[in-house]
Structure 1
């Protein structure tokens, strides 16, 4: 199953909508987690109705920040377990594999004020009997190699993040492609 997790940084304009449609079509995505969409649920639902993935769950932005969209294909049986401004956790029953698993779309608080709540929920699902996969942006790094430019990140933040990954039994699956896919401006 092709899954897309994308920090989109806003949902305004027809060009952006065409871009989302193009990516979903060209990648044959069956499940998409789009975050930092920066729009309310009314606008989100209007846009989603024109996308190829018709099933959705939306967490509205708070003002001009945040906003999570979980989109999926009709062939997937998905049930949202819980959601907040930082996550959407769901069970997925993929008929092609006859497996039930937990998908967590994560968008961590960039100020780290809500980290304890987020990591409590991550550990809750990660220690259960059902296989799981989390995708998104934790807004944290484990080493200097994961960041270039901007304000320096503290060693204590890296240590805390690495410790939380280990305590939850998570494993970074790595990536293929450019090391840096985002740059501020």
Structure 2
């Protein structure tokens, strides 16, 4: 997938028999997905969405300039797990201290002293907060929580992130903001970090 495109959503299982489908949106709020207009699949097909309920959308494929609605369950089943993208240029610049997760992939990871640790090869977010996967030469990859404590500096323009790999991660309660990273590299710090869709 070219870095010039950003994943904004995934079509899920059908909803009913009239062509509706569940759609997982990565935008904030999720309903903002339809505001991006035409969404592209990896194979080049183009789609538009119209929300019909919470997380459920009517899907229309754009073929040779003509709108072709997904009309039944069978057609919706063929779209399950279809990933929807937009060109990166259509996204607004993120606010200060916010980052598009896709922009973090490929950045060099260095420790607080500036020594190379590896490269950010993936960003995982399963709902409990994002984590960076860092590929290290001559060592197994490491997952680091994308928090201010573990990643105190993010410099996309400079092509790097500063990573203080924690010795342990302590979760005091169910609040994701309560996560603290203890490290020999320095005192615990606020663990929250913003991220754009």
Higher helix proportion: 1
Using the size of structure 2 for normalisation, the TM-score is: 0.24
Which structure would you say has the larger RCO, counting Cα contacts within 8 Å and 6 or more residues apart? 2
Task: Flag the structure with higher strand content.
Answer: 2
